[in-house]
Amino acid sequence: MIRVLPDMPRLAAACVLLCGLAVPAFADAGAVVEVTMWDKGANAEMAMDKGIGMAHDPTMGGMMDGSMGMKLSTDSVPAGEVTFKVSNTSKDQVHEMLVLPWPADGKGLPYVDKDARFDEDAGGSLGEVEELDPGKSGELTLRLKPGKYVLACNIANHYANGMWMPFTVK
C-alpha cells in the first residue's frame, strides 16, 4: 500500500519548478569552436604574403596554399559565450591562437616587419591561447558581440604564412 504524505504535492511542484529553471541554464551554455592548428613541418617553405590583405589572402581573391594554417569546426556562431578548444597538431612547431576584431580598414592587422608579427595591442587582441607545444591543447572562453573577427597565430612569421581565419559572430 502506498501512503501519500501531506507535503507530497508541494514537493512535486517544487521539483518541477526547479527542473524547469535548470534546463535553460544548460541550453545557454554557449558555442564551442574546435580549432586545429596545423603545419607542414619546420623545414617547409615559408611564403611571407598570406596575411589579411596580402597576395594570397582568400578574401582578396588569392589562394590559401600555405605551409601552415587553421581549421575551424564552424566559421560562425551566435553572439554570447564562445569557447575555443584549440589543438596544435604540429610535430615540431609551437602555435598560439588569438582572437581579434576584424580590421576596420580591411587591410590587415598592424604588422611589424622587423618582428615578423602583428602588434597584438594595436590589433585589439581580445584574448589568446598562449604558446601551445606540439601535440598540446588549450581553451579560451570569451563573450563576443555580433561582428567579424580574426583568429590568428602570432608566432614569428606564422600570420604572414597564412595561419589565420575569419570568424563571424551573429
Which residues touch 62 (CB under 8 Å, ≥6 apart)? Answer: 50, 54, 55, 56
Tens of pLDDT, residue by residue over 143-163, are 999 999 999 999 998 988 888
Task: Report whether pLDDT(122) > 50.
Answer: yes
Cα→Cα distances 34→69, 76, 132, Å: 14, 12, 15
Q: Which pLDDT belongs to residue 10? A: 57
Task: Report whether pLDDT(133) > 60.
Answer: yes
| Second CATH level (architecture) for the domain 28-169 | Sandwich (2.60)
What are the φ/ψ torsions at residue 89 (nearest 5 degrees)? -90, 5
Tens of pLDDT, residue by residue over 1-23, are 555 555 655 545 554 444 444 44
Is residue 128 a contact partner of residue 140, using CB atoms and an 8 Å limit? yes
Could you tell me the three cell numbers for 65? 596554399
Residue 121 backbone zone (phi > 0: left; psi -120 to 50: alpha; other: beta): alpha
Q: Which pLDDT belongs to residue 28? A: 56
Q: Which pLDDT belongs to residue 25? A: 41
| Domain residue spans of the chain | 28-169
Tens of pLDDT, residue by residue over 33-84, are 999 999 887 777 766 666 665 545 555 433 355 688 899 999 999 999 999 9
Q: Are strands 31-39 and 80-88 parallel, antiparallel or unpaired?
A: parallel
